[in-house]
Every structure is written in C-alpha cells, then in structure tokens.
Amino acid sequence: MPNPKRRHSQQRSAKRRTHYTAETVTLSKDSTTGELHVRHRAHESEGKLYYKGKLVAEKAPRKA
C-alpha cells in the first residue's frame, strides 16, 4: 500500500474540513395529523406511527 512520504500539516487537514457543516433539518406538515415532522422519517402522533401520511402501526396496550 502506498503511504505518504511526509506528514501532512494540521493546517492542510483543517482546510479540507472547513466545508463540512451541519445542515438544518427539513420539516414538513403531515397531511393526516397536521403535525410538523422530519421529512422521510416515520413519526409518532397520539400513540400511532405514521409514514407518508399513512398509518403504519399502532401502539399495543401495555399488559399489567
């Protein structure tokens, strides 16, 4: 495997990393429940799980 002949400076790696930034999360409004949620993710509302505006799963009642 080829290896670098000399060590890269810290400044050189810092220049490369300057473009890595955290992006803001895109929110959208659910057509069924009307709540805001993260896009392309299932979200829970009133104990029910929704994805793309459709009911995916309901929470089962807890057994005592």
E strand segments, 1-64: 27-29, 36-38, 43-45, 48-51, 54-58
DSSP structural state of residue 43: E
Mean pLDDT, 10 residues at a time, the chain of 64 residues: 85 82 87 87 88 85 71
Q: What is the pLDDT of residue 60?
A: 74
In this predicted structure, what is the pLDDT of residue 64? Answer: 66
Cβ atoms of 50 and 39 closer than 8 Å: no
CA distance 51 to 33: 11
Burial degree of 50 (CB within 10 A; 0-12, 13-18, 19+): buried
pLDDT of residue 27: 93
Domain assignments of the chain as residue spans, ordered by start:
11-58
Instruction: Check residue 14 and give its pLDDT.
Output: 85
pLDDT of 52 reads 84
